[in-house]
Amino acid sequence: MLLVIIFIAFLLRLINLNQSLWLDEAINLNNVSALGFRELMLNYSLSDFHPPLYHLVLKTWVNFFGNSEISARAHSIIFALGSILFVYLIGKKLYDAKTGLISALLLATAPLHVYYSQEARMYMLAAFLTTVSVYFFLSIFEKDKLYNWLGFITSTALVLYTDYLPYLIIPVYILYLIIIKRQTSRHTLISFIPAFSIIVILLVPWLIILPKQLQVGLSVAAAFPAWASVVGSGSLKDFFLSFVKFTIGRISNDNNLVYALIFTPVGCFVAFLSLLSLFRISPKRSFIYLWFLMPLVLAFVISLYVPVFSYFRFIFILPAFYIIWASAINIINWGLPTRTLLAGALTVNLTATFIYLVNPRFQRENWKEAVAYVTSRADKYTITLFESEHPAAPFDYYNRGKVQAQGTLEGLNADREYIKKRLSNLLDQKSKIYLFQYLSPLTDPQGLVFQEITSLGFNNTYTKNFNGVGFVYEFAR
């Protein structure tokens, strides 16, 4: 049954795997293709605001399998399938085999898990390593053996080299040790002191670089305050929206009232499962609730000072979310109530997953078609402009030098005099312009680039909209 579940998960994640790369994926791929391992670790990681492990993994992968959309994302599917396997093992360890299977099935069909299984970013690697770390952590209490300690130390250190929010699994471990200290041998509890010490020692090489990375990140945030709303603001709305996204993934509706009405019955069902799961809680099983809730609360507090709170950064707690569901579904012997609850949970998952997989609106930024549109209509007198310092990375990825492309801003701010001088030089002897609106509400909210192009005698002859990319304005004179 577990193999069937993993196979279903694999098939779901193959659908539309070749959809267009979005900004962060393209930035990653362009850099891992151009830079060496040392440069990725010491230079690129500073501006990417993540630890370096995923970049090194991605470079190794594309060196062997290429950097197409499918090959660049394929390793994320492998990590996703691994996380499903370990969720089964964790569910089985804390509850029973049936709960483990239900947990695996729910994670296999989870819309948010499917989405990030198809992305060339670090979130699925972090989720996989977190489940491995949790598995070995819990195994230590059953068998205080060297291989469990080695598995725990290694996987936890690798998690900390992958992404920053999973660092919040450490407070979860510490609080859990306090909760179960009376049910645990003193020798085992004391042994966690050298274990955590070794993890810190393994992390020291990156901790030396971390202050510099943090300094770069804070300077960018100070120079570009609007970016905080994109990378994750600490608002109650974002906090509660996370529970919605965990449940139905990235599907949404522009009308907030309609969105709320659609989600309300689903939310009530999930709330019912959460309450029902409490009937199976115990000190040992409290770990699942700590794993799910504690990182959310701590990250929310941190985001009041540093913008880090975005639901997609919490893929590493999704396994706990679905183990909670599974514990409620399997609260009684297999029968009509259990089958009904499972059918309801699968209906929620598969409906949201299906909507994402078949509706381009909920998929990634459609740079592939946007670039094809420009390159098919361009000639030697054409230039493509961006309201940023450089062309967007996905444009470079798909363009591959076919059409001249330039940024129009200096740094992150739109300065009228600089734009005027910049465009005066760029547009000499050009008869056609394609201006990408992408991120302009953040970088050029006054529309200075558009205004200056018009003042130079160009007319907006056509405008086309691409999903996630925004408007592409065609100018001619």
Q: What is the pLDDT of residue 377?
A: 94
Residue 222 has pLDDT above 90, yes or no: no
pLDDT of residue 41: 85
User: pLDDT tens across 116-172, in order?
Assistant: 999 999 999 999 999 999 999 999 999 999 999 999 999 999 999 999 999 999 999
Domain boundaries, the chain: 2-362, 367-476
CB 382 within 8 A of CB 412: no
| Residue 126 parent element (H or E) | helix 123-142
Q: Say whether pLDDT at 235 is over 90.
A: no
Which backbone phi and psi does 93 adopt, to 5 degrees?
-65, -40
Q: Give the whole-angstrom CA distance, residue 469 versus residue 367.
A: 7
pLDDT band at 471 (very low <50, low <70, confident <90, very high): very high
What mean pLDDT comes out for the span 195-200?
96
Rounded to whole angstroms, the Cα distance separating 34 from 21 reads 17
For residues 44-68, one letter each, b for 16 or more C-beta atoms within 10 angstroms of the residue's C-beta and e for the rest, the string is bbbebebbbbbbbbbbebbeeeebe
User: Of 327, 35, 53, 379, nearest to 205 (Cα)?
Assistant: 53
Using alpha carbons, select from 73, 89, 29, 80 the residue that is nearest to residue 55: 29
Give the list of residues 6+ apart from residue 412 with CB closer than 8 angstroms, or none: 220, 223, 224, 389, 443
For the segment 187-206, the average pLDDT, to the nearest whole number, is 94
- CA distance from start to end of the chain: 65
| Topology of the domain covering 367-476 | D-Maltodextrin-Binding Protein; domain 2 (3.40.190)
Residue 154, Cβ density class (10 Å: 0-12 exposed, 13-18 middle, ≥19 buried) = middle
Angle between helices 123-142 and 286-303 (to 10 degrees): 140
Residue 254 reports pLDDT greater than 80 = no
pLDDT (0 to 100) of residue 261: 85
Over residues 403-455, the pLDDT tens digits come to 999 999 987 778 899 999 999 999 988 999 999 999 888 888 899 999 999 99
Task: Read off the pLDDT of each residue in 320-339 and give the average, rounded to a whole number.
Answer: 88
DSSP-derived pairing of the beta strands 459-466 and 470-476: antiparallel
The chain-wide mean pLDDT, for the chain, equals 92
pTM: 0.93
pLDDT tens-digit series, residues 20-38? 999 999 999 999 999 999 8
Q: Which uninterrupted H or E stretch holds 464? A: strand 459-466
Greater confidence (263 vs 258) lies with 263
